[in-house]
Structure 1
Amino acid sequence: MDFTDLLRQRRMTRQYRQDPVPADVVRRIVGVVHRAPSAGFSQGHRIVVITDPARRARLAAIAEPWYLRHGHQSWISQAPVHLALGIREGAYHDRYQEPDKIQDDGAEIPWPVPFWWFDAGALLVLLQLAAANEGLASGFYSPAAPDELGALAEVAELPDGTMLTGVMTLGHKSDDSAARTSRLSSRRKPLDELVTWLD
């Protein structure tokens, strides 16, 4: 697929068919974790693949009520695959205390930008592009309430020391999702409002 076409397919989807996604397809998608940016090659990314219907229902019971209260249809409960995306901040600190990364004074860098969060966002985009390349749709949810985020992390059984950044949904897009996408596209801001050129 041409990269421009692939980018057009990368969008947040909130309507899925419940058809299963083959395990080998999911494995190819999550395999992009090896190509995801991680500062200093810290490799702090963690992904938990959730396809078990009961566990997906528990995730939806936590996260979907907000969407229903705000007029959206059920979508979290429809998606056949959920990817819990986690990041290990400790992996970054461990890496940046190694001899080739430590500062001259022997201290770890001060992290003016917490790159574990930056890298987590980069992983999400790579996963979305990988899903689009497989002909699948994807979405993302991450509740604002800390207790809900903690509840999602508990259901996802993230490894110790791993913080949940959110959950990506994967599946086959329903036929009803195209109208919403075109409405949002009409609200796209002009490029010159988003990009500044300093020639």
Structure 2
Amino acid sequence: MADFTEVLRGRRMVRNYREDPVPEEVIERIVAVVRRAPSAGFSQGHRIVVVTDPVKRAELAAVAEPWYLEHGHAPWISRAPVQIVIGVREASYHERYTEADKIESGGGEEIPWPVPFWWFDSGALFTLIQLAAANEGLASGLYSPAFPDELAALSAIAGLADDVALTAVVTVGYPADEPADRAAKLAKRRKPIDDLVTWLR
């Protein structure tokens, strides 16, 4: 296991993979984080689909990759040997928050959800998957189409249930060589910590 600081340093978006397959036991360790991912009230609404089948991976790429190719990017979705479809079942949250203990603490009715925590928790799961991949020496990326018909197509390919919303797809694999100046370019764009963190001492 790597030191957490090194794992965190390895967490970055990658759009260039080698086509080497990832051992199944490694993938199993990565996706096992779903059981430790945050979910409001322990609703456990996370759902993920691991796609390693070459035909299914190609189908996912055929939906999502054309935009990148049209904008000058090299193929990357189609090259990733693993795609992890992240879904969330909103109903799990409503079911949990209409159980007796939650209704009693909520004044007799379900909370109004000013923050839809199913989306919040789905983003947290994505970060855990990225960190788990980095811990295995792997790279990861993310895509999620902006158009409802494309999102529906990805959901259908992945076989998600009708009550599960697809939030994003994580690409995972061994990173291919990146441009030598990429890290330097990103470092220049990184905002100072004081722009991002406010202290109320």
Query: What RMSD over aligned residues (CA atoms) do the two structures have, in Å?
Result: 1.2
1:148, CA displacement in angstroms? Answer: 0.8
Residues 157-183 of structure 1 show CA distances to partners (whole Å, capped at 9, x for unaligned) of 113310000100000000125543432
Counterpart-to-counterpart distance in 2, 1:162 and 1:98? 21
**Structure 2 match to 1:149:** 151
**Structure 2 match to 1:124:** 126
Equivalences, count: 199
Residues 131-164 of structure 1 show CA distances to partners (whole Å, capped at 9, x for unaligned) of 0000100001001111111111111111331000
TM-score normalised by L of structure 2: 0.95
1:105, CA displacement in angstroms? Answer: 4.0
Kept in 2, the 8 Å contact 1:14–1:177? The answer is no
Counterpart-to-counterpart distance in 1, 2:168 and 2:183? 22
**Structure 1 match to 2:40:** 39
Structure 1: unaligned runs, 5 residues or longer: none
Counterpart-to-counterpart distance in 2, 1:123 and 1:104? 26
Q: Kindly tell me: are residues 108 and 184 of structure 1, through their superposed partners in 2, closer, same or farther at Cα, counting changes over 3 Å?
A: same
1:197, CA displacement in angstroms? Answer: 1.1
TM-score normalised by L of structure 1: 0.96
**Structure 1 match to 2:164:** 162
Residues 42-76 of structure 1 show CA distances to partners (whole Å, capped at 9, x for unaligned) of 00000100011111111111101111122211100
Alignment of structure 1 residues 1-199 onto 2, 5 Å = 1-102=2-103, 103-176=105-178, 179-199=181-201
1:186, CA displacement in angstroms? Answer: 1.8
1:185, CA displacement in angstroms? Answer: 2.5
The AA in structure 1 aligned to 2:100 is P
The AA in structure 1 aligned to 2:135 is N
Structure 1 moving runs of 4+ over 6 Å? none
Structure 2: unaligned runs, 5 residues or longer: none
Q: Kindly tell me: are residues 192 and 22 of structure 1, through their superposed partners in 2, closer, same or farther at Cα, counting changes over 3 Å?
A: same
